[in-house]
Amino acid sequence: MPEPPGGREHRMPRPVASSTAYTVQQGILYTASRKDLGDVVPADLARDVLVALEATAEGRRRLAQLGRRRSRVWLRAQEAAVLPGILLHYPVRKVAIARAVEEALRAGATRVVVLAAGLDLLARRLALAWPDAQFVEVDLPATQADKRQALDALGPQPPNLWLLPADLSQAALPDLLAGLPVGVGGPTVVVAEALTMYLPAEAQRRLAAEAAEVCGPSGRFVVTFVRHTLAPGDVGPLLRAYLWFKREDLRSQLDPDEAVALLVEAGFSDAAVQTGPELTHDLLGERAPGRPHDAEFLVIADRASS
Ligand X SMILES: C[S@@+](CC[C@H](N)C(=O)[O-])C[C@H]1O[C@@H](n2cnc3c(N)ncnc32)[C@H](O)[C@@H]1O
CA distance 301 to 264: 9
Q: Nearest CA to 267 among 202, 224, 192, 217?
A: 217
Our CB check for ligand X shows the closer of 193 and 213 to be: 193
Our CB check for ligand X shows the closer of 154 and 286 to be: 154
Q: How far is the CB of 203 from ligand X (least distance, A)?
A: 8
Phi-psi region of 267 (alpha: psi -120 to 50; beta: other; left: phi over 0): left
In this chain, which residue has its C-beta nearest to ligand X?
Answer: 118
Q: How far is the CB of 306 from ligand X (least distance, A)?
A: 26
Q: How far is the CB of 45 from ligand X (least distance, A)?
A: 12
Upstream peptide bond of 232 is cis (omega within 30 degrees of 0): yes
Q: Nearest CA to 121 among 225, 20, 44, 62?
A: 44
C-alpha distances (whole Å) from 127 to each of 84, 124, 223, 295 are 33, 5, 20, 30
Query: What's at 215, amino acid-wise?
Result: C
Q: Using CB under 6 A as the criterion, which residues of the chain lie in contact with ligand X when the complex forms?
A: 18, 20-21, 24, 116-118, 120, 139-140, 143, 167-169, 193-195, 198
C-alpha distances (whole Å) from 280 to each of 176, 193, 235, 297 are 35, 16, 20, 11
Sorted by sequence, the CB contacts under 8 Å of residue 109 that are 6+ apart come out as: 101, 133, 186, 187, 188, 189, 219, 220
Our CB check for ligand X shows the closer of 31 and 143 to be: 143
Cα angle 91, 140, 181; round to 5: 100
Q: How far is the CB of 266 from ligand X (least distance, A)?
A: 18
Q: How far is the CB of 304 from ligand X (least distance, A)?
A: 26
Our CB check for ligand X shows the closer of 26 and 110 to be: 26
Our CB check for ligand X shows the closer of 99 and 304 to be: 99
Sorted by sequence, the CB contacts under 8 Å of residue 63 that are 6+ apart come out as: 26, 29, 50, 53, 54
Our CB check for ligand X shows the closer of 120 and 210 to be: 120
Q: How far is the CB of 42 from ligand X (least distance, A)?
A: 15
Q: How far is the CB of 173 from ligand X (least distance, A)?
A: 10
Our CB check for ligand X shows the closer of 168 and 215 to be: 168
